[in-house]
Amino acid sequence: IPFTGLYHVGAREYDPRTARWLQRDPIDVAGGHPNVYVYCGNDPVNYSDSDGISEDPGGPKGSVRYSVTAFIPVQTVVGPGGVCFKGDNRRFSPDSPRYRVQIAFVAYKNKEGKLNVDFKNAQVGTTEVVDKQGRVIWKGKANATVGPNLIDQKPVVMPRNDGGVDVILSFTASNPYYPMSPPISFRATFRLDKEGRIISFSGFHSAYPAFEIWQYTGAKYSRGNSEACATMLYGFDPTIKNPSATPWDLLGRVYFRR
């Protein structure tokens, strides 16, 4: 497009300076897909998108949103046999798209005033093998299963007499490209009040990698938006005390409660 520095590609514009599209992909929006970064395999950070898409899934006005994310905090992880994998290379963040597994759900009131909970499809990061210089030499998508019913992938919502609900959320992610890699697992029960706000939660997860739980209220979260709020409910990073920790060093479970 003359004088703008933008490229017009079909039905939307692309800014090569920031590696970002200025509009959503109309095909995916028409199909109901919530992810505006489908075009790059949900991995825009590796292509100059430093802020990335918010982990906040968005929802109706007045909704409360939650995201559970597992990510590798270090730049690379070396496995048995010397195979080097690319990590997510970040710390806790409410708006980073770099992760191994991410699941989100939205709590909101319907027209009758009853609390509803909608779940978003699980998102799984890309497995990338790198050489000694950190260059990607191979990549592929991992598998994720969302429980407790691994066939139809429906988490459990249990209504309570006070108008609130208990949400049971679990997932297991394995790496089919590297069978020696321990699976990433998570299971927790979230108790929400009748407005969808968190009362308490408890559960367990694998000892590696890092995990974070965020709550979002107001407008869909983006940095600098005064009408949006992100609250970190839980964070666990095994590399804070042991920077060289790997999945093969830290087996077992970590229990948490709030």
Instruction: Give the model's pLDDT for residue 108.
Output: 94
pLDDT tens digits, residue range 213-258? 999 998 877 766 777 788 999 999 999 888 888 888 888 899 999 9
pLDDT tens digits, residue range 106-130? 999 998 889 999 988 777 788 888 8
Instruction: Give the model's pLDDT for residue 124.
Output: 79
CA-based max dimension of the chain:
61
Boundaries of domain holding 177: 52-257
Backbone angles phi, psi at 135, to 5 degrees: -85, 135
In a domain, 185, yes or no: yes
Return the closest-CA partner of residue 246 out of 77, 4, 70.
77
In a domain, 36, yes or no: no
- From first to last of its 258 residues, the chain has per-residue pLDDT tens of 666 777 766 567 777 666 666 776 555 555 555 555 554 445 444 433 333 344 788 888 889 999 999 999 999 888 888 888 889 989 898 888 888 888 899 999 998 889 999 988 777 788 888 887 778 888 876 555 544 433 335 578 999 999 999 999 988 887 767 778 888 889 999 999 999 999 999 999 999 999 999 999 988 777 667 777 889 999 999 998 888 888 888 888 999 999
How far apart CA 119 and CA 121 sit, in angstroms, is 7
Instruction: Give the model's pLDDT for residue 41.
Output: 46
In a domain, 144, yes or no: yes
Q: How many residues does the chain have?
A: 258
pTM of whole model > 0.85?
no
Q: Which residues contact 32 (CB under 8 A, 6 or more apart)?
A: none
Q: Which residues contact 31 (CB under 8 A, 6 or more apart)?
A: none
Share of the chain above pLDDT 90, in %: 32
Total domains in the chain come to 1
DSSP 149-163: BTTTTB-EEEE-TTS
Q: How many CA atoms lie within 13 A of 170 on its CB side?
A: 13
In a domain, 26, yes or no: no
In a domain, 175, yes or no: yes
In a domain, 216, yes or no: yes
Instruction: Give the model's pLDDT for residue 152.
Output: 36
Q: What type of residue sits at position 257?
A: R
Give the other-Cβ count within 10 Å of 161's Cβ: 5
Contact status, residue 33 vs residue 19, Cβ threshold 8 Å = no
In a domain, 33, yes or no: no
For residue 62 the two structure tokens come to 């007045």
The separation between CA 204 and the C-alpha centre of its own chain, rounded to angstroms, equals: 17
How far apart CA 177 and CA 168 sit, in angstroms, is 29
In a domain, 44, yes or no: no
Return the closest-CA partner of residue 172 out of 63, 253, 107, 75.
253
